[in-house]
Structure 1
Amino acid sequence: MRKKLYKWHSIGALFAMLPLLLISLTGSILVFKVELDTLLMPDKMQVTSNNSATDVTRASERMSLDFLMAKVKSTYPEHEIGSWEIFDDKSRTDAAYLIKHYTTQWSKIYVNQYTGELLSTPVGLSDDLTDWLLDLHYKLLLETNGMFLGAIVSILLLFLGISGIVLYRKFWVNFFTLRFKLARRIFFSDLHKMIGISSSPVIIILAFTGAWWNVSEVIHEVSEHIIEEPYLMAKPLHNQDLSIQSLLDRNKETIQDFEATYLLMPYEPEMNILFYGKVDSPNPLNSDYSSTITYDKNSGKMIDYLDVRTSSAAHVSVDSFRKLHFGHFAGLPSKIIWCVLGLSPSILAFTGLYLYLYKNRNRKASKLVKLKRAVS
């Protein structure tokens, strides 16, 4: 049984090695996506880069969401607003996501929510460096095919993490032993086991959450965009006399302490207006999108809400995947740990490949010796 498991562990690692290298490297970088975006694009990401801190302090309140959305729409009339990232920390700018008429093409534009200034022109969702890395991490730059491949690789990584624990479960006895002075094969074997065992909890978390998202997106893609033709917007799908700002202001009447972080507008006929947000909660794994409030797109009537503090265990668990996957649950320390251990598949791929080639070479040499003896 152990030999068969080792064989499948090796085959799975060889099959997934190249995509795992890309996924682990990009994933470690993306742990600090916001920080990198702020460093690389301060004029787009920070309100204080375009206005003095004094001006921002004076403009202590966000401008009306109705005004901001109208300005974006009037500037780019050939687009509809599909969603909107909402920030009110006097630091990070809003981001509006647009859909071009008669297409499924999405783009992004940065907006200073305190002055109403549009800080960029619409750019593709993979045009900025970290967004391109996210596309590489999530879809391997292969669109729908990449989601299928990503789902397979995530499942394989989950198998590798679990099978590695089973294969090397007794390695804890000599966990801190690296036999430097012995043969390179032994050192690489020790290093492979040490890194694999120590990083396995994080690898399993990353693999499981990644697999969940990929498989979910594959199912959505198949059902919504392959079985059915995608809907192509040509005009707004909500009542134009409806104040989105008034809906935003009403959110706390429905969920106490609700702070909206993301607005999803109807871009398909069956959709309504949906706010995602965060609430005060003792659970550090609750994400910034853990609670939702839905309004009718025509009347503005509240038709549904979900408060993570009173929701099902299933919802709380799935919502926690966001912070668990990106390591955002304990601030900078957890980010650093996730960044470092997220690189472990790269080291495991290198050491594992070396051990596989070494063993395969010895196996061939042994067969050759036996063949010579049989001939002689």
Structure 2
Amino acid sequence: MRKKLYKWHSYGALIAMLPLFIISLTGSILVFKVELDTLLMPEKMMVGSDSPVTRLPLDTLMAKVKIAYQNHEIGSWEIFDDKQRTDTAYLIKHQSNTWSKLYLNQYTGELLSKPVGLSDDLTDWLLDLHFKLLLDTNGMFLGAIVSLLLLFLGISGLILYRKFWLNFFTLRFSQAGRIFFSDRHKMVGISSSPVILILAFTGAYWNIAEVVHEVSEHIIEEPYLINKTLYDQSLSIQKLHDSTKNYIKDFEATYLLMPYEPEMNITFYGKVASDNPLNSDYSSTITYDKNSGKMLHSQDVRSANALHVTIDSFRKLHFGHFAGLTSQLIWCLLGLSPLILAFSGLYLYWYRNRNKKKFSKLTYRKVISSN
């Protein structure tokens, strides 16, 4: 059984090697996505130091965007009030499923960019490469398979090399290259396995969930093409925003999802004061009726069931954003471990095949000479 598991481990690694190389490298970079965006696009990402200290109402900001881009509808909105990062509005062009985004200063109302595609900025392109391998729905499906393969590789590696813990800190430098590479392969695999298993499981979940959504929403059903505002425009979005604290204590809205399909309503996602460091900035939600403004549903992560809390934790667990810079650095470095494992594993695979060929040639010569 051990030999079969080793063979499956080797073949799985060979099949997934190239996409894993891409996903691992981009994933390690994307741990610092916000920091990179701020470095590369400070004029879009950063609020000016001379800006007012109070946000403009969401109604005012949304009206400015709608006036500037009348053939678009607002699909969602990232909300920030830290006096540093700018808001981001996500737009949908009429009669299409084309989304774009623009940055704006929420304190002055100044539009800081024109709408750009969701993969036009460098880190967004890297995110598309990481998540979809630039292949849209097919890429999500492939990414799910690769994530499951990575999960299998992590589990099978732990089983195969479970006794390596006894000599975990031993690297036999003086031995042959095969032994050194074997030791390094096992050491890197064992030490990074907790993070790799987390990344593989959360990545597989997101890819599978997204594939199911895409198939059900855009293949099984006819996609809806928006051409007008789908909520009562007499509603004040800012008043709805301000009322969120009436339903969830300490609620701080971070994301607004507007109705862009007929059955959708207005939903605020946000964070709350919690002792759980894995609660994301989108862990709690409040939904309002798009016509009457009546509160329809609220979900406080502090009183949510275990399934909701677990799935919500995937966001911070996948990108390492739960213990500040320390966890980000650990996730960045250990996220690169599949690259090291790929090279060392490929060397070991090549070495064994070479020896098998040598052995078969020697056996063949002996047979010929004996005859």
The 5 A counterparts of 1:57-72 are: 59-72=52-65
Pairing partner for 2:254 from 261, 265, 281: 261
Match of 2:43, as an amino acid? D
Between the aligned partners of 1:229 and 1:129, the Cα distance in structure 2 is 32
Aligned to 1:220: 213
The Cα of 1:303 is off from its aligned counterpart by: 0.3
The Cα of 1:324 is off from its aligned counterpart by: 0.3
CA RMSD of aligned residues (A): 0.6
Q: What are structure 1's unaligned runs of at least 5 residues? A: none
Aligned to 2:238: 245
The Cα of 1:372 is off from its aligned counterpart by: 1.6
1:105 aligns with 2:103: no
Aligned to 1:3: 3
Aligned to 1:173: 166
Range with bigger deviation, 362-371 or 169-178: 362-371
The Cα of 1:146 is off from its aligned counterpart by: 0.1
1:120-162 residue CA offsets vs partner (Å, 9 max, x unmatched) = 0000000000000000000000011100000000000000001
- What SS does the aligned partner of 1:226 have? helix
Between the aligned partners of 2:88 and 2:173, the Cα distance in structure 1 is 52
Q: What are structure 2's unaligned runs of at least 5 residues? A: none
1:121 aligns with 2:94: no
The Cα of 1:89 is off from its aligned counterpart by: 0.1
Aligned to 2:190: 197
TM-score, normalised to structure 2's length? 0.99
Match of 2:21, as an amino acid? L
Match of 2:174, as an amino acid? K
The Cα of 1:274 is off from its aligned counterpart by: 0.5
Match of 1:210, as an amino acid? G
Aligned to 1:270: 263
Aligned to 1:303: 296
The Cα of 1:182 is off from its aligned counterpart by: 1.3
1:242-272 residue CA offsets vs partner (Å, 9 max, x unmatched) = 1101100000001000000000000111100
The 5 A counterparts of 1:318-329 are: 318-329=311-322
Between the aligned partners of 1:230 and 1:357, the Cα distance in structure 2 is 49
Match of 2:59, as an amino acid? D
Aligned to 1:337: 330
Match of 2:10, as an amino acid? S
Between the aligned partners of 1:368 and 1:215, the Cα distance in structure 2 is 47
- What SS does the aligned partner of 1:277 have? strand
1:15-56 residue CA offsets vs partner (Å, 9 max, x unmatched) = 0000000000000000000000000000000002xxxx2x33
The Cα of 1:240 is off from its aligned counterpart by: 1.0
Match of 1:37, as an amino acid? D
The Cα of 1:375 is off from its aligned counterpart by: 1.8
Aligned to 2:127: 134
Aligned to 1:36: 36
Between the aligned partners of 1:209 and 1:194, the Cα distance in structure 2 is 23
Between the aligned partners of 1:221 and 1:357, the Cα distance in structure 2 is 40
Which aligned segments of 4 or more residues in structure 1 are displaced greater than 2 angstroms? none
- What SS does the aligned partner of 1:305 have? strand
Aligned to 1:15: 15
1:75 aligns with 2:68: yes
Aligned to 1:159: 152
1:90-142 residue CA offsets vs partner (Å, 9 max, x unmatched) = 00000000000101000000010000000000000000000000000000000
> Number of aligned pairs?
369
1:206 aligns with 2:199: yes
The Cα of 1:211 is off from its aligned counterpart by: 0.3
- What SS does the aligned partner of 2:260 have? coil
The Cα of 1:61 is off from its aligned counterpart by: 1.2
Between the aligned partners of 1:268 and 1:359, the Cα distance in structure 2 is 57
Aligned to 1:370: 363
Between the aligned partners of 2:97 and 2:357, the Cα distance in structure 1 is 54
1:334-376 residue CA offsets vs partner (Å, 9 max, x unmatched) = 0000000000000000000010011011111111111121122
- What SS does the aligned partner of 1:47 have? coil
1:276-321 residue CA offsets vs partner (Å, 9 max, x unmatched) = 0000000000000000000000000000010000000000000000
Aligned to 2:26: 26
Between the aligned partners of 2:214 and 2:161, the Cα distance in structure 1 is 38
1:145 aligns with 2:138: yes
Between the aligned partners of 2:219 and 2:2, the Cα distance in structure 1 is 42
The Cα of 1:4 is off from its aligned counterpart by: 0.4
